Amino acid sequence: MKNIDRREFVKASLLTAAGATLSINKVLATPSAFQFSQIKLPYDYAALEPNIDATTMDIHYNKHHAAYVKNVNDAIATENIAYATEIEFFSNASKISMKARNNSGGVWNHNFFWQVMKPGVSNLSGKINDAISGTFGSTEKFKEEFTKAAMGRFGSGWAWLISDNGKLKIGSTPNQDNPLMDISELKGTPLLALDVWEHAYYLKYQNKRADYVANWWNVVNWDEVNVRLANAR
């Protein structure tokens, strides 16, 4: 009887160990949830002076942007959000919490924003110049319309130039929404963006958003916008 009990015990132990191994392998085979990350700032904090001051850039990047990264990844973990890419995340923005939606947009929008600016002169040329002239009639008219979108956004938000199935459009989104989100009224591939949250300009410009917008044109990275247009859907 004791021998039988021992054999049964060993058998049961082996089955338990095998089950545990399968469970571990299953966990290891399951891809980890997608997490958002902050890009390295492409230039020094003072590189966009005098148009955007170094102190604002430092705080904007290291405080505001970094906080969005932490908050969205916390939301992904606590809410068990399993989307695998940024596009999939935004395509389901209507199904996630406001914390996940706002902070995911905050990460992506700022990563995009840093890249469509650069120090020094960047000339509006190439295909984006042709597309702007063909759509809006002139560079001046385009800037006028874009400025209206930036100035017309009440409170916090973003102004955008997008490609919608090859057609250029200008619009704005509230808070940290963007044109990739399924809940956005403005939908398309972002080509250019301007942050009109007060934290983006208040230290230098106080309540003078118009001055901030006007000076921002001096640091637009048109080379990057051309790349975005070439890759637009």
45 in Cβ contact with 69 (< 8 Å): no
- Over residues 150-164, mean pLDDT: 97
- Over residues 217-232, mean pLDDT: 96
Chain mean pLDDT for the chain: 89
Supply angle C-alpha 218, 221, 224, rounded to 5: 170
Predicted confidence (pLDDT) at residue 13 exceeds the cutoff of 90? no
CA distances (Å), origin 109, targets 69, 95, 152, 175? 11, 19, 19, 10
- In this prediction, residue 121 carries a pLDDT of 82
Find the DSSP H helices in the chain. Answer: 2-29, 54-59, 66-78, 86-91, 98-115, 126-136, 139-152, 202-205, 209-216, 222-230
Predicted confidence (pLDDT) at residue 2 exceeds the cutoff of 80? no
* pLDDT per residue as tens digits for the range 162-198: 999 999 999 999 999 999 999 999 999 999 999 999 9
CA distances (Å), origin 69, targets 156, 190, 199? 19, 20, 17
From the list 137, 132, 36, 27, the residue with the least C-alpha distance to 77 is 36
- In this prediction, residue 22 carries a pLDDT of 37
- In this prediction, residue 201 carries a pLDDT of 98
The model's pTM is 0.86
Q: Which amino acid is at 79?
A: E
- Which residues, listed in sequence order, are joined to residue 178 by a DSSP beta bridge? none
Backbone torsions φ then ψ of 224, nearest 5 degrees: -65, -40
> Token pair of 183, please?
């809940």
Dist. CA 47–CA 223, nearest whole Å: 17
* pLDDT per residue as tens digits for the range 32-84: 568 999 999 999 999 999 999 999 999 999 999 999 999 999 999 999 999 99
Predicted confidence (pLDDT) at residue 9 exceeds the cutoff of 80? no
- Over residues 138-163, mean pLDDT: 97
Looking at domain 51-233, its CATH superfamily turns out to be Iron/manganese superoxide dismutase, C-terminal domain (3.55.40.20)
Least confident of 7-21, 56-70, 155-169, 208-222: 7-21
Structural domain spans, the chain: 51-233
